[in-house]
């Protein structure tokens, strides 16, 4: 059953629509994420869900009950929604235990103490309840903030860029921990971030946002492997679009080889016969282009990024087009070298060719 539903919500600041007919639904116990570039409206959606912004159209339902619609906005404190912010927002004059107990003011003393102990243990700070926030590291402070938000057992937890003040390594570790903690409590949650690694580490489902709209709401796997439009393909992971031509038997020819899909190519109504030399763009990820000394197909190394286990090569083809190739790092080639490559594509993702109207999804071909 959906715990949270947004149905065609709109929000405008001084006539400027920053959220546009946005819909999503989140099952009880699952973790969703709004991921997108700065200014796309993620935080505004979160503020609407929390009740800090009234919607100008559409509805928000929590546990089946309408909490927001035009002209009606249930107060934030009556929504049973917990929030975690990027700056932790802990009370500096209260101890860690007092911070966590803040939302439990109406509970008895013993019940409050037991709940605080339970939360301290859950976030791995069992012995640190008497410390003050300034005596703790950034990561510890964020765990306190999470414990404080979870203490009243909210039906929905909202996390707004919760890791952005932390260094990269800690961010990655804490994002896994936070997921485990949220899952251990069975809480439904929504995370807002512009960092896809964070989104992948925490969320079950992710909505890619662009200019106030969700472009695709899907699992991390599908966003990477089955992007529904160019924006999603560009935003998630790395890759290039290489011009291609559909061959008669459903194969797609690109400069460095021929791709084959297990399913027929599907066109949109404006292109009703892909079998006849349709031109399109093929999405090639760095792992689709394999280094192979024996291959007659060559690419010139124009850039290389050493990543420890792998090197990400940018290779220029004879036409001048570039592809990316992820290669084990013991294959160390110099800039200017021409190295052998071949395609190793598991499934084919294509979009209508640039000259025919870049940006419009026309065709996606995937294995059955
Ligand atoms: N209170 C406000 N008044 C007017 N415009 C606002 C207000 N808050 C946000 N905006 C505008 O609404 C748009 C969406 O902002 P929002 O903060 O939701 O984006 P975001 O995706 O969360 O961005 P970021 O990742 O940078 O936080 C932006 O263009 C922003 O300038």
List pLDDT tens digits, range 103-148.
Answer: 898 888 888 999 999 999 988 898 899 999 999 988 899 899 999 9
Instruction: Please state, in angstroms and rounded to a whole number, the distance separating the CA atoms of residues 107 and 102.
Output: 10
CA of 40 to the centre of ligand 1 (A): 7
Maximum distance among all Cα pairs of the chain, rounded to whole angstroms: 76
pLDDT of 365: 35
Structural domains in the chain, CATH included, are 2-230 (3.40.50.300), 238-356 (2.40.50.140)
Q: Are 253 and 350 in contact (CB under 8 A)?
A: no
Over its C-alpha atoms, the chain yields an Rg (Å, rounded) of 25
Q: Which residues line ligand 1 (CB under 6 A)?
A: 13, 18, 36, 38-44, 194
User: Strand 31-35 relative to strand 188-193: parallel, antiparallel, unpaired?
Assistant: parallel
pLDDT value at residue 368: 28
- If you take atom 9 of ligand 1, which residue's CA is the nearest one? 44
pLDDT recorded at residue 274: 62
Q: Which helix (H) or strand (E) holds 230?
A: helix 230-235
Give the pLDDT of residue 292.
95
Residue 68 CA to ligand 1 centre (angstroms): 20
Tell me how far the alpha carbon of residue 342 lies from the centroid of ligand 1, in angstroms.
44
- The stretches in the chain having pLDDT less than 50 are 268-269, 355-368
pTM over 0.90: no
pLDDT attached to residue 271: 57
Q: 39, 40, 162: which to mutate for ligand 1, most atoms within 8 A of CB?
A: 39
Query: Measured in angstroms, how far is the CA atom of residue 27 from the centroid of ligand 1?
Result: 27
Q: What is the pLDDT of residue 280?
A: 83
45 CA: nearest ligand 1 atom: 18
CA angle at 160 for the pair 156 and 162, rounded to the nearest 5°: 105
C-alpha–C-alpha distance, residues 73 and 28, integer Å = 22
* Nearest residue by C-alpha to atom 16 in ligand 1: 41
Q: Which atom of ligand 1 is nearest to the CA of 40?
A: 21
What's the confidence (pLDDT) of residue 273? 57
- Cα 331 to its chain centre, rounded Å, is 32
Pocket test for ligand 1, best of 17, 41, 164 (most atoms within 8 A of CB): 41
How much distance in Å is there from the Cα of 294 to the middle of ligand 1? Answer: 52
């Amino acid at each position: 059953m959906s715990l949270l539903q947004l149905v065609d919500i709109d929000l405008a600041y001084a006539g400027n629509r920053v959220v546009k007919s946005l819909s999503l639904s989140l099952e009880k116990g699952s973790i969703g994420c709004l991921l997108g570039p700065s200014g796309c409206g993620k935080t505004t959606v979160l503020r609407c869900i929390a009740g800090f912004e009234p919607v100008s159209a559409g509805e928000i339902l929590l546990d089946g009950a309408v909490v927001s619609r035009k002209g009606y906005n249930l107060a934030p404190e009556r929504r049973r929604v917990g929030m975690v912010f990027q700056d932790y927002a802990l009370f500096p004059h209260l101890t860690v235990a007092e911070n966590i107990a803040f939302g439990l003011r109406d509970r008895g003393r013993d019940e409050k103490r037991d709940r605080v102990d339970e939360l301290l243990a859950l976030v791995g700070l069992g012995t640190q309840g008497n410390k003050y926030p300034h005596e703790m590291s950034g990561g510890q402070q964020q765990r306190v903030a999470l414990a404080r938000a979870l203490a009243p057992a909210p039906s929905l937890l909202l996390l707004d860029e919760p890791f952005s003040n932390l260094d990269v390594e800690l961010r990655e570790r804490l994002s896994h921990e936070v997921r485990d903690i949220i899952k251990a409590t069975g809480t439904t949650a929504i995370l807002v971030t512009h960092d896809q690694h964070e989104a992948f580490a925490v969320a079950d489902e992710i909505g890619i946002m662009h200019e106030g709209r969700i472009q695709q709401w899907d699992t991390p796997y599908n966003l990477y492997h089955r992007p529904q439009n160019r924006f999603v393909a560009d935003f998630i992971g790395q890759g290039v679009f290489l011009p291609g031509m559909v061959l008669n038997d459903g194969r797609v020819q690109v400069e460095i080889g021929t791709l084959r899909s297990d399913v027929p190519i599907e066109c949109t109504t404006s292109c009703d016969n892909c079998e006849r030399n349709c031109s399109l763009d093929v999405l090639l990820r760095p792992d689709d282009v394999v280094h192979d000394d024996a291959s007659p197909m060559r690419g010139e190394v124009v850039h290389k990024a050493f990543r420890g286990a792998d090197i990400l090569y940018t290779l220029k083809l004879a036409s001048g087009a570039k592809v990316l190739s992820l290669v084990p790092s013991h294959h160390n080639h110099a800039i200017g070298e021409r190295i052998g490559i071949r395609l190793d594509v598991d499934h084919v993702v294509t979009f209508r060719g640039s000259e025919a109207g870049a940006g419009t999804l026309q065709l996606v071909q995937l294995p059955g």
